[in-house]
Structure 1
């Protein structure tokens, strides 16, 4: 995705602000993989396509060798740094490496029939399936698995009434209230539609070496039209965040970066003063109890000040939540539970 390759994109902030994938998701994928052809299931090599900062890559340590592939040098640099400081680098069984490349052409990095599991986390909505399905078939061993997933629009678990406001910001068309038109299409549309537009391998390949897609939806929105025979599972991707962390998440959106390229004056908008006095007081109290270095690294007051579209949306959410419930805690350091529906595609090489 082009935005992530730009020099202005901060991979470190992206890594800190994004939701992390729960162990239950990988357990589900590994269980599917283990149910392949009897006597064929192997755990030797896994490849993560569009690996980004390596969040999903490092959960594949059950395999002896794990390869992360991404077109962005900045993302790969952060992935290597994350590996160096984590427990993953000391795994007694797995070795990791990160290489520059694309999901559509793995020939320089991955040999024929050398892979047991191919995954893509929050990347497959950008794929050219006319090339990815043939490459998946080429690199997988018989009995190997491909698992591709995305998380879709976030929700605030205890504030379902805010869903229309979230939808307007992410999918609307008014430039004063929405970044929707600035997501790269059709990829974003494919994500919003839970990957239902991803074609079956059989429509691309001339043979039946890959199975039909098993589609699994964790926490799909009510009323969403899903393919026949889809599996519906409870929500599994949740994260408790401070409200100020939620602002940080909004500021990682690719659409926001593109929006500000088109509307640079939005960054010069007059400061939105809603909650400002309380927010500054809260940050000051927290800072007094922490090391000065930590304060400037993670909670500087400049992070929460501004009047651009992301700050306005953030404060709209807080204001609406407070108006709807007198018990709602919407302070900058108060916690809010965020959840994301997940769409998972599973395919096996026959």
Structure 2
């Protein structure tokens, strides 16, 4: 997680390229919360809130607090929430963002004061020997905790490319994989969709007041390696799916913490010879994009942040490997830089409530 806490980390690019959380996920969480028998809707807390992608979904609660160790992320979250049309009004009073960690909330959250505690795409970094006690301490009676992560992306129309995606993210060959440059064991816990996170009772023992634990796996029938679901847990239909341009998919690759670390260790990779595959098409796509940006500027419209598609570094090579693989599977498939492709992410969710 240290990559995201660095002062120079580009939180804006990170936010723009990440997938959005579907409303159905929050409907599922809110329905679980409603059935506690004593559910209240006063305060919600987003642990490891990052750039605030999940935080606005907590608007049914009267007060919302986002907590993150990175000031850059918090500033981006404040800006993001302020830009949204959230009812009722008074966003500045209702949404607060504080610097802190999930393992120690003593200075930010009082005992028994939280109705919903969430962690979106941050729980794989947690020290659960500390987070479960803090969860129990801050939750109100009848309060809910919902912790989830999404694993490596997939191209659902091209399942034959899943091994290539897995190899890039989990492999050990530095010529074709960033797998060794993710922080472990956090990344492994994410790849395994939180199956290694202990139940609260195994940490809290007889003092545990956290019950009705549910583990949900929204990954369809294509369970990502190296996951083996616990006995009795059947996969649910995938929830997180997004249509992206190939250009934006490359932008998503560039938000990976492992890629930043990889290029710190191998700066020469950034000077690799340009990958010639699709080069003429990509140059043409860039020319058209530049022309449209000039027109947009002339119309006083806001142009979107550009993503460079030129070069030969490891992310470009992987990106072009995927495009080539799609063409081998379907020669008529659109693989231009600004053509669209369906992407989905397997999602794992842990729910519990304080009795």
Q: How many residue pairs were aligned?
A: 346
Distance in 1, Cα, partners of 2:212 & 2:32: 14
Q: Secondary structure at the match of 1:258?
A: helix
Question: CA contact under 8 A between 1:202 and 1:212: conserved in structure 2?
Answer: no
Q: Tell me what 1:347 maps to.
A: 352
The answer to whether structure 1 residue 242 and structure 2 residue 245 are counterparts is yes
Deviations along 1:147-192, whole A, 9 cap, x unmatched?
0000011001211111011011000000000000100000110111
Other-structure match for 1:65: 63
Contact 1:266/1:308 (8 A) holds in 2: yes
Is residue 150–residue 191 contact of structure 1 (8 Å, CA) maintained in 2?
A: yes
- Which whole-Å CA distance do the structure 2 matches of 1:54 and 1:299 have between them? 22
What SS does structure 1 have at the residue aligned with 2:67? Answer: strand
Please state how far the C-alpha of 1:86 moved relative to its aligned partner.
Answer: 1.2
C-alpha separation in 2, matches of 1:72 and 1:89: 27
Q: Tell me the equivalent position of 2:138.
A: 139
Residue 264 of structure 1, CA deviation = 0.9
The residue number in structure 2 matching 1:232 is 235
Q: Deviations over 1:22-75 (max 9, x none)?
A: 000000000000010x2x110100000000001101110000000000000000
Q: Which runs of 5+ in 2 are unaligned?
A: none
Give the Cα separation in 1 of the matches to 2:161 and 2:232. Answer: 31
> CA separation in 2, counterparts of 1:139 and 1:347?
13
Q: Which runs of 5+ in 1 are unaligned?
A: none
Moved more, 321-330 or 215-224: 215-224
> Quick check: 1:260 aligned with 2:258?
no
Q: CA deviation at 1:92?
A: 6.3
Residue 337 (1) aligns with residue 335 (2): no
**Structure 2: how far apart are the matches of 1:289 and 1:90?**
37
| Residue 207 (structure 2) pairs with residue 200 (structure 1) | no
Q: What is the match of residue 32 of structure 1?
A: 32
Distance 1:284 1:11 in 2: 28
Distance (Å, rounded) in 2 between the aligned partners of 1:295 and 1:208: 52
Contact persistence 1:83–1:89 (CA under 8 A): no
CA spacing shift, 1:20–1:32, aligned 2, 3 Å: same
Matched with 2:305 is 298
TM-score (norm 1): 0.95
**Contact kept in structure 2, 1:200 and 1:212, CA below 8 Å:** no
Structure 1, residues 105-157: CA drift from partner, whole Å, max 9, x if none?
00111000000000000000000001000000000011100000000110012
The offset of 1:208, in angstroms, is: 2.8
Q: Which residue of 2 aligns with 1:124?
A: 123
Distance 1:212 1:203, change over 3 A: farther
TM-score by length of 2: 0.94
Q: 1:288 aligns with which of 277, 285, 291?
A: 291
260-269 or 221-230: bigger deviation: 221-230
What is the DSSP-based 3-state SS (H/G/I as helix, E as strand, rest coil) of the residue aligned with 1:211? strand
